[in-house]
Chains A and B, each alone.
Chain A
Amino acid sequence: MIDLTEVTKIYRRGPEEIQALKGISLGIAAGEFAAISGKSGCGKSTLLHIIGGLEPCTSGRVVVDGRNLARLPDLELTRFRRDRVGVVFQSFNLLPLLTLEENVALPRVLQGISYSQAREEAGHWLQEVELAHRRGHKPHQVSGGEMQRAAIARALINRPAVLLADEPTGNLDSATAGQILELFARVHRDWRQTVVLVSHAAEVAGYADRLLSMQDGVIL
């Protein structure tokens, strides 16, 4: 499902060069739940963004769901993000103007299906994450855990090939964080969803099939 070969990423800030990834090679199979852990600044989020097509690598080869992302034109990359990837962020990143239901429906709407159908599907996914009763609320009217559950529903509504999660429990208390991790585990278990989860928290190990540790831009 995911195949990375000698992937590097260099950021340039003026004359300074920061090497975030140093020749990473990695394979993740379909239906696998991989957790990547490491200290802040080790490059794990960068790795996740490159897998999700959110930013390009500097060198190397990134193949996700059979597509070589480095060679995809912009339009194809947009389609890839829309149809094949679901992303969950640490700070939820829900659009404040939309209700939870509309936030969840958004990726389907962007795919071009009708609003009514998208909302119907969103209702289903909100039920899956136990938020049906909050469908008409706006993000600032619900708790952090509820926002993150809505973000997970939004990431899943397109039935993506890969679900990527970037520190999804970073802004939550430990009890809520446990519930969210449990939700990821259920998604993986019930639908054989490929999940790549980045976290610096040690407890993710208990939910993932495989735990990868990163340090200074390399996988240990």
Chain B
Amino acid sequence: MKLFLFRLSLSHLTEYPGRTLLGILGIALGTAVYLSISLAAASSLKSFQAGVTAVAGKAQWRLKSPGSPLNESLFARVRRLPEVKAGAPVVESVLEFTGPRKGPVLLLGIDPFSERPFRNYDFQTGTGLDREAWLQFLTQPGAVLVSDRLAAQKGLKVGDPLPVLVGPARHTLKVAGVFHSPSGLYPLEGSLLLMDLAGAQELLDRVGQLDYIDLILKGDGDQAASRLARELPPGVDLVRPGTQGRQLEGMVASYRLNLTVLSAIALFVGMFLIYQSVTLSVVRRRREIGLLRTLGLGRGQVLLLFLAEGLASGAVGGLLGLGLGVVLAQSALALMTHNLSSLYAPVQATEVVVQTRLLLQAWGLAVAATLIAAWIPAREAARTRVRAVWYREELEERLQNRSGTFGVLGLLALALAGFFAVLRFGSGPSLPSFAAAFLILLAFALFTPFAARNLGERLQPLLRRLLGPPGDLGCRYLSGSLSRSAVSIAALACALGMLIAVAVMIGSFRQTVNSWVTRSISGDIFFGPAIFSTAAYDHYLPREILPGLQKDPDIQDIYLYRCVRLPFKDRFLLVIGGSFDVLAKYGGLWFRQGDTQRIMQEVGGESHGVPADTAARPTAPGSPKPNPPYPPLEKGGNSSPLSRERKSPPLLKGDLGGFFGSSKTVESNTDYRKQETENRKPAVVISEPLAETFGYKEGDILALPTPAGVQKLKIAGVFYDYRTDGPSVWMDIRQFRTFWPDTRLNAVRLYLKDKTKIAAVQARLQEAYGSRYRLLTVSHQELRQGILKIFDETFALTYTLEGVAVVVAVFGIITTFLVLIMERERELALLQALGASRGQILSMVLVESGLASFLSFVLGALCGSLLSLLLIYVINKQAFGWTIQLHWTPGIYWQTLVLVLALGLLSGAYPAWRAVQPHLAAILKEE
């Protein structure tokens, strides 16, 4: 086609710069939001992966025990095996800076003499690493090397003290030197400390233990690995070091997909703007099209002409969106790393990594979206007969006549959405359910012409009676300008629908979590390390505290809590050992089916044949019971898998397990083993997300990897659980200790005799231990508030995304009314010429814009309600495995109605005011 014709298009685009700009801005915003979420997600995961790679170094394989440390003697044994070329023992923990330098820091305890083949940290040329520094590093307690990046960030130099929290305990480390990573890769964005292995073991209370052993094997890695695996004791796994990063990716996949889909909503709404812009262009230029067609322009050329206009808007909007997206990504990254850290794992990404692939993907999506949006009106223009394009009214009539057909198509889309909603492929987030969400949005967009026509026609008699000619004409214009108004109404309805759906879902979720905290988490005071996140698994309650608690006269009962996190299929799994006797007494888990007491007893041990006097027995509330002494602890190597290999049974002598039994020595491990031989599986309960993700039901058998080998456990019950740090398996703590044989506790819950003394006991505990440790003493009410605070922070990003979609839709409605009134300027002038007052004209326009806004709200509310059901009962259930109780939140409907009516009336008022300016004759002058 001649370039001249495209120049014609260009001149039309520049003729109404405001309208063109709004269309472009809509696409730009949509693209920007989509890109920012993609970049932030990719950057945070890349940062995490870089950390994993940096820590793994050149290690080919890693020895780990699921949720448990290794005995360090394993290193000496493995190192001597002929398959092993090099090995490096490591302990690691995420510490927290205190004092003026806040934030998490990864401590790696390494053996510098084994490290060289693995992690190429530049110890020699880095600043400050002289002979003296090395000597300090190897001999001085608390001496650490800090990464050059951390030193630069925090202004650290050799000799500086570094106050840190190790779990709950306060320690002060000392900077012995600074090291540099030639690869440029650091975990936690460089927040890394290196410490001599022995010093780190002592600091972390892991003397004789290792977190993992990195290996480089000789010859063919896979064959050597197979041979090595056969040599390993039960409960020790040989894994690839990178699996941790992949498991995090698997864990956050649902979170990431949900955000990506939400960000795409803004782009979807932007598509309506482009559709509307091209439709308006077709309508306004009907004479020009007719003339061009008369002069011999083919249909294909007309189609190309309008597609080119849409494409130009999309391309420019997409480019603007890329720039804006990169800027927005910085804020999104901060929010996302905060969410990922509080929900899943410590992530500290500060720099947005701009990936060309993501830029091209976002821009391509913007262009594709605009082409799809422009296709329908462009095709309409191309297919129209030469004469017909001279009359917009024919287009309107055709649309009115087809509104019923559109309605039927909408019903079909809804039916298809229903079909997709029940489809399920595999575990995790399901694409058909997201397709169902888009089909619901599409269905309500298709209902719009029918609804607008009927609303206008049916309200016409009433509003005519109430408001006279303005009511009558306002209704007529609503039902008679479908080619223009219906698109805007649909765009706004879709945006409002998503807003309402997300708000109802979040409101329901919040209410459900609130009920869950009240019903499922019993206890007056929660007492443990001051870490409210996923880094808490290797932080423990100081050993000397429990005896003090046992003697406390105000404490009625104590619930013991021990948790490990281990890889399970493509996820992380929490295994929790708890005092089920206490749970049975006070309540604490909310089962989706079955008798709670019976399940608790089954898990609590009575049904296992555990001697009654060692099991926790429910007692009547209020009946005092003496607290038994804390079991003696065996520190160090005896708890490792290798030592268990030599020393069986695994349960430590003197470990009471059930805390409230007598102090009689527990030999129940033999009972547990007996069960196995009798083919009676130990019973556990699992969280609903675990059941939903992997398809477990009550009564099924769960094969759980443990340091004592894979255990087959009977699922006695499935309970509701809304933790975000992964699916979980709960068992009685005595059972737990047969698999993870250490006696440490992560935290305890305290049940007081007198509930009015909660604050006093909290204060007493803080006073007793606050100077030595940083421990949280959280009341039930504070815990609920804390959980809800994290909840609200998590969904801040979701609300932001929805807000952008609404802003884009509001652009649409403002543009629509501006254009509608501008197009109708002549008709409005004529009405004035015929004697309509300015008040009448204003009223008429406001009736129309008010009705359009109201209809957007009604459609949006219906669409949103349906979408909220899909989000609650399908998408969330599939993605996270959570059952959310539906709680309607009328507030969001009222707020949306007021917002939309106000916006609609305002966006109608300006062009209406313009229309009644005294320049009738100029408008009515003949063309």
Report A's interface with B, CB cutoff 8 A. 45-46, 49, 52, 54-56, 74-75, 78-79, 81-83, 87, 89-91, 93, 95-98, 106-107, 109-112, 115, 138-140, 154, 158, 166-167, 170
Contacts and interface: CB of A to CB of B under 8 A. Distances in A.
Contacts of A89: 830, 924, 926
B480 A97 contact: yes
A138 B393 contact: yes
B921 A107 contact: no
A93 B923 CA distance: 11
A90 B926 contact: yes
Contacts of B468: 109, 112
A75 B918 CA distance: 12
Contacts of A49: 920-921, 924
B827 interface: yes
Contacts of B469: 106, 109-110
Contacts of B919: 55
A54 B837 contact: no
Contact of A96 (B392, B472, B918, B921): B392
B924 A110 contact: no
Contact of A140 (B391, B472, B827): B391
A108 B838 CA distance: 17
B835 A54 contact: no
Interface of B: 391-394, 464, 468-469, 472-473, 476-477, 480-481, 826-827, 830-838, 840, 918-922, 924-927
9 contacts: A46-B921, A83-B835, A87-B834, A93-B830, A96-B393, A97-B481, A106-B831, A115-B464, A158-B835
A90 B924 CA distance: 10
B393 A140 contact: yes
Given A46-B921, A166-B926, A78 B830 contact: no
A107 B920 contact: no
A95 B830 contact: yes
A97 B476 contact: yes
A140 B826 CA distance: 16
Given A54-B921, A89-B924, A97-B476, A106 B837 contact: no
A87 B837 contact: no
Nearest to A155: B834
Contacts of B922: 55
B836 A110 contact: yes
Contacts of A91: 926-927
Given A95-B827, A110-B840, A140-B394, A87 B833 contact: yes
Contacts of B924: 49, 54, 89, 93
Given A54-B920, A97-B480, A78 B826 contact: no
A112 to B, nearest CB: 7
B837 A75 contact: yes
Please name the 7 residue pairs, one residue from A and one from B, whose CB atoms are nearest each other, closest first.
A82-B835, A55-B921, A49-B921, A97-B480, A140-B393, A54-B921, A140-B391
B862 to A, nearest CB: 28
Contacts of A46: 921
Contacts of A107: 834-835
A111 B469 CA distance: 10
Nearest to B916: A74
A191 to B, nearest CB: 20
Contacts of B480: 97
A98 B473 CA distance: 9
Given A75-B837, A95-B831, 6 more contacts: A49-B920, A81-B834, A93-B826, A106-B831, A110-B469, A112-B468
A107 B833 CA distance: 10
B926 A167 contact: yes
Nearest to A112: B468
Q: Please indicate which of the listed interface residues B394, B468, B481, B837 has the most CB atoms of chain A within 10 Å of its own CB.
A: B837
Contacts of A110: 469, 831, 834-836, 840
B392 A97 contact: no
A138 to B, nearest CB: 6
B792 to A, nearest CB: 49
Contacts of B392: 96
Given A91-B926, A93-B924, A81 B835 contact: yes
Nearest to B477: A97
Contacts of B472: 109, 115
Contacts of A55: 918-922
B131 to A, nearest CB: 85
A93 B919 CA distance: 16
Contacts of B394: 140
A52 B834 contact: no
B921 A139 contact: no
Contacts of B830: 89, 93, 95
Contact of B926 (A45, A78, A82, A87): A45
Contacts of B918: 55-56, 74
Contacts of B834: 81-82, 87, 106-107, 110, 154
Which of B391, B394, B924 is most buried by chain A, counting CB atoms within 10 A of its CB?
Answer: B924
B393 A111 contact: no
Contact of B836 (A78, A83, A90): A78
B833 A52 contact: yes
A167 B926 CA distance: 9
A98 B468 CA distance: 16
Contacts of A75: 837
A25 B836 CA distance: 30
A74 B835 contact: no
Contacts of A79: 835
A166 to B, nearest CB: 7
A107 to B, nearest CB: 5
Contacts of A115: 464, 472
A142 to B, nearest CB: 12
A49 B920 CA distance: 9
A128 to B, nearest CB: 19
Nearest to A81: B835
B214 to A, nearest CB: 78
Nearest to A167: B926
B835 A111 contact: yes
Nearest to A87: B833
A167 B835 CA distance: 21
A170 B464 contact: no
Given A46-B921, A54-B921, A81 B833 contact: yes
A48 to B, nearest CB: 9
A91 B472 CA distance: 25
B286 to A, nearest CB: 12
Contact of B832 (A56, A78, A90, A170): A78
A137 B235 CA distance: 87
Contacts of A109: 468-469, 472
Contacts of A83: 835
A147 B519 CA distance: 75
Nearest to A98: B476
B61 to A, nearest CB: 77
A201 to B, nearest CB: 14
Nearest to A83: B835
A51 B832 CA distance: 15
Contacts of A74: 838, 918
A158 B871 CA distance: 60
A158 B836 CA distance: 13
Contacts of A139: 393
